[in-house]
Amino acid sequence: MPTIRETILTALHARLSALPATALRGEVLPERVPANGLLIMRDGDPGEPEVTMSPLAYHYEHRAEVEVVVQGTGDRDKMFDELIASLGVVLAADRTLGGLCDWVEPSAPEPVDLPVEGAASLKAAVIPVMLHYWTSDPLA
């Protein structure tokens, strides 16, 4: 049986997979970025929980990350912006991931342009996504 943490991360990846870009989890950046863009979800860090004693509960603010990458020369900026916006729409549509966590909150991206020798440059950003949830056991 998967842990609460894994169940939430799987649900987040499923939301990303609904977007038009290719969605990966925990993968390295491939040599070629798909034409429709690329999302790579990183499981991130659950951090130190706040603990309540009665009943015993561990409250996490888990920081996952979503890397957003597009490549091209034409409408690269527009494509990047549309992909970021669609990610925001998907997350805002269900801030609890179907009731699995208390709240999902993405942060604003900090885009960078990355030159690629012999190919079109990349536009990328890492978007932190805070997952607020609790569990009765830090290993469950």
How buried is 109 (Cβ within 10 angstroms: 0-12 exposed, 13-18 middle, 19+ buried)? Answer: buried
What pLDDT was estimated at residue 81? 96
Other Cβ atoms closer than 10 A to 59: 13
Q: What angle do CA 75, 14, 80 make, to 5 degrees?
A: 15
**Beta strand segments in the chain, E:** 22-25, 38-45, 50-53, 56-71, 103-106, 112-116, 119-135
What pLDDT was estimated at residue 115? 86
Tell me the pTM: 0.94
Closest to 21 in 3D by CA, of 7, 9, 8, 34: 34
Residues contacting residue 19 through CB under 8 Å, at least 6 positions apart: 39, 83, 86, 87, 90
What pLDDT was estimated at residue 21? 96
Residues contacting residue 81 through CB under 8 Å, at least 6 positions apart: none
Residue 47 contacts residue 37 (beta carbons within 8 Å): no
What pLDDT was estimated at residue 74? 75
Mean pLDDT for each 10-residue chunk of the chain (140 residues)?
96 97 96 93 97 95 98 87 97 97 96 86 95 94
What pLDDT was estimated at residue 67? 97
Alpha carbon distance 15, 8 (integer Å): 11
> Could you check whether the bond before residue 109 is cis, i.e. omega within 30 degrees of 0?
no
What pLDDT was estimated at residue 61? 98
| Residue-range domains of the chain with CATH | 4-133 (3.30.70.1700)
